[in-house]
Amino acid sequence: MPNDLDTVFAALADPTRRTILAMLLEDDMAVTDVAEPFEMSLAAISKHLVILTKAGLISQEKRGRVKWCKLEPDALRAASVWMQGFGQFEPVNLDAFERFLEVELPSDEA
């Protein structure tokens, strides 16, 4: 599982790939349609798609002469479960913590 998480998080680390995933939330898209809003070559987009595919975040299939991309949301499940483990901790209120320390650890200047 750690290697799978590493691969997923590495794929998600790039803003172009995150944008592609967001685009695929709507519907399956042809590779050329995925590439259209980006100011980069089709070859560069294809490299991003390979990384997303290897991470299991998308799948690609040929339909006739067109290659289509499909979001695979289950691939994010392990990453989501891992991140939710950190949700059990409440955010630290630093002001309250400082007041607690002042009461518990009075200064020696008195």
Give the span between the Cα atoms of 104 and 109, in whole angstroms: 15
How much is the pTM? Answer: 0.74
For residues 57 and 10, what is the distance between their CA atoms, to the nearest angstrom? 11
Dihedral (Cα; 77, 51, 64, 27), 10-degree rounding: 40
Q: What values do phi and psi take at 58, rounded to 5?
A: -135, 165
Which CATH architecture fits 2-104?
A: Orthogonal Bundle (1.10)
The tens digit of pLDDT for each residue in 53-92 reads 999 999 999 999 999 999 998 888 888 888 887 776 666 6
For the chain, the first-to-last Cα distance in angstroms comes to: 55
In tens, the pLDDT along 7-38 reads: 999 999 999 999 999 999 999 999 999 999 99
